[in-house]
Amino acid sequence: MRQHVARLEGVEFRNRPRVGQRSALGLFLDNDGVTNWDARAEIKGDDVELPGTAGEFSLPTRLLGKNIALSGLAVANSPRGLAELNDRFVSIGYGGKHFRIVVESMGRTLWGMAKLVDDDWVQNATDDSARFLLQLRMSDPRRFGEAVEGESGRLPYSSESLLLINRGTWHATPTIRVRAKTNMLSGYTLHGGAEALRISAPLPAGQVHEVDMRSEYVRRNGLIVSKAKHSGRAWHVPPNGEVMASLEPHAGTGEFSPYFLPTYQ
């Protein structure tokens, strides 16, 4: 029996009550918990033949989306109570939007983003209970853990190098705020271990850039800065690993503040 507790848009699904606890009310998961939650997502990667020479070139790998499901029993002590449970159930994922699912399992809490694929609710004829099924799609199968102080989460601004530690099972992609203490009109480089991303967009004193290491977009006041990238490439924090990060202004002085969470596939 998997010990899962799941929360979706304020609706909580708990473990099935033990024998003798039939008086417990609410939405209870079957023994499988959240089906496929702990399963590793499929990794997609392609190899391309190199023209005119031997061998192949391996394209970057990526995670494919996955389906998860919650099934179980809704228990109430009156017809009205069961109707209220159904109201909460059918409100999940309305309009096809993506929403956060939080699952407590094996002593840790992870969350990811999902959308509703299908649901089912069948009321039992003999009492105030119903069987339910909720099928969800995680287009992005990554799951995120809780920040560890000094290692992950939003780290304080620093002009010195920072050690970033990812205790998850998939590489973590930081978002980095860069703040100019004096004019940084020639841009800057963000170093992560042996990798580096150079930004040529000027940054006046007191202003902040937000650099997304997943897309390589640079934003200022929420707007994308056009042609901000000069060279290099985005970098990540490896799974169960660490990377030393630093900011190199090309003129002026500045400080940076990374943000990321332990990331799981």
Angle ∠(34,36,41) on CA atoms, nearest 5? 140
* Structural domain count, the chain: 2
Reported as a single tens digit per residue, the pLDDT across 31-52 is: 889 999 999 888 887 777 778 7
Q: Are 157 and 100 within one domain?
A: no
Q: Which structural domain, as residue segments, surrounds residue 198?
A: 153-264
Q: Are 138 and 173 within one domain?
A: no
- The residues that bridge with 111 in the sheet, in sequence order, are 102, 144
Exposure letters 62-77 (e unless 16+ CB within 10 A, then b) = ebeebebbbbbbbbbe
Q: Are 8 and 86 within one domain?
A: yes
Q: Are 162 and 136 within one domain?
A: no
Amino acid at 93: G
Amino acid at 101: I
Q: Are 223 and 107 within one domain?
A: no
Q: Are 16 and 44 within one domain?
A: yes
Give the pLDDT band of residue 99 (cuts 50, 70, 90).
Answer: very high
Q: Are 137 and 210 within one domain?
A: no
Q: Are 33 and 122 within one domain?
A: yes
Q: Are 238 and 171 within one domain?
A: yes
Q: Are 247 and 130 within one domain?
A: no
Integer Cα distance of 216 and 199 in angstroms: 10
Integer Cα distance of 16 and 6 in angstroms: 12
Range with lowest mean pLDDT among 143-147, 148-152, 172-176: 148-152
pLDDT at 16: 79
Integer Cα distance of 224 and 248 in angstroms: 21
Whichever domain contains 220, its CATH number is: 2.60.120.860
Q: Are 126 and 22 within one domain?
A: yes
pTM metric for this prediction:
0.84
Q: Are 118 and 228 within one domain?
A: no
Whichever domain contains 33, its CATH number is: 2.40.30.200
Mean pLDDT of 210-226: 97
